[in-house]
Amino acid sequence: MRRAPLLLWLFMALYVLAGPAVCAPATTRTVLVLGDSLSAAHNIAVDRGWVHLLKARLEDMRPAWRVVNASISGETSLSGRNRLPALLKQYRPRVVVLELGANDGLQGLSIRQLRDNLAVMIGSSQAAGARVLLLGIELPVNYGPRYRDALRRTYVELAAKYHTALVPFLLEGIALDPALMQADGLHPTAAGEPLVLDNIWPRLRPLL
């Protein structure tokens, strides 16, 4: 019975000597980016893409942030929806950045289905404890005003309904500048990527 106070004293001494860093290590926080070629550094060096630039910006923050880029060229909202549950389970992100819909639009897929897929992804992310940033996109004018307006409204309405952060147009100030866009007219050049991050950062920073 007399040994209990001695053991307690020894435990307290070890705690003081070891310090709180041993007993309560800092937890790395994760930003998960789920997008298409606009986030996958299409046709440019990976380290010039906006996601890599974001990673570099967050390296010095404490506690640490890591950036996981799960973006795939050609990704649609449906394929992203199918992949997201495993990504949430694997990485347990604090912040999820959803950049999907461009390929749905370019293929003329159903806006209703896009809305449903994005809604499921937002809900799943929030249920997993993550804050969500939704990145909107716009289509070339040849897709017609009705379809383009419906796509634009989708992001705005979802952000309002689920109380997410929103960048209405990822390529604002970039898409119409030939010096900042690749020959396909769809993807930024390496020179345009820092401006993409500039569009995102004011909405992302409060979530970190």
200 within 8 A of 207, measured Cβ to Cβ: no
Burial of 183 (0-12, 13-18, 19+ CB in 10 A): exposed
Query: Residue 176 carries which side chain, given as an amino acid letter?
Result: L
**Gap between the Cα atoms of 142 and 29, Å rounded:** 42
Write the CB contacts of 129 (distance below 8 Å, at least 6 apart in sequence).
92, 94
Phi then psi for residue 30, to 5 deg, are: -120, 135
* Among the listed residues 80, 45, 94, 47, the one whose alpha carbon sits nearest the alpha carbon of residue 204: 94
Supply the residues annotated as catalytic. Answer: 37, 184, 187
Note the residue count of the chain.
208
